[in-house]
Amino acid sequence: MAQPLRPPSAARAGAYLGLFVLGAVVGVAGALVQPAWFPGGLLLALAGEAGLVLGASRVMRGRAGGAVVAAGWTLVVILLTASRPEGDFLFAAGAGSYLFLLGGIAVAVICATLGAGRQPDAEPARLGK
């Protein structure tokens, strides 16, 4: 039944922090790859993000792992879209950049939702056994 919420263990919190950083690294890598090889780079960047979000959900045995990766990716990509005072920017105003930003957010939400929900550690059993 319902159990009270308790804070995660130190190892689990460290794993979440590592997944957050890994999501940020994938966001930076995707931001650099997607304009270099436009159609293929965009697909590669989104596929890498999807794989990481689904993998994190599976490894952490819950949707929170995927959500943490998605949060790291989104934070870094949003920060990279801002122009600097010197006029430098990483994303050009083009279709590829918008597809990467909006498509990446959609992929993160879809994959984090598809990730396995928290399940009891017991063996799966059919009713009536």
Q: What is the pLDDT of residues 36-91, one digit of tens each?
A: 777 888 888 889 888 898 888 888 888 888 889 999 988 998 888 877 676 666 66
Residues 112, 114: Cα–Cα separation, whole Å: 6
> Which residue is it, tokens 């879209």?
81
Amino acid in the structure at residue 37? W
53, 105 in Cβ contact below 8 A? Answer: no
Q: What is the pLDDT of residues 91-128, one digit of tens each?
A: 666 777 788 888 888 988 888 787 665 555 556 666 56
Q: What is the DSSP string of 54-79?
A: HHHHHHTTSHHHHHHHHHHHHHHHHH
Exposed / middle / buried, residue 57 (Cβ in 10 Å: 0-12, 13-18, 19+): buried
Which residues lie closer than 8 Å to 31 by C-beta, 6 or more apart?
A: 45, 76, 77, 80, 90, 91, 100
**Whole-angstrom distance between the N-terminal and C-terminal Cα of the chain?**
21
The two tokens of residue 64 are: 């929170």
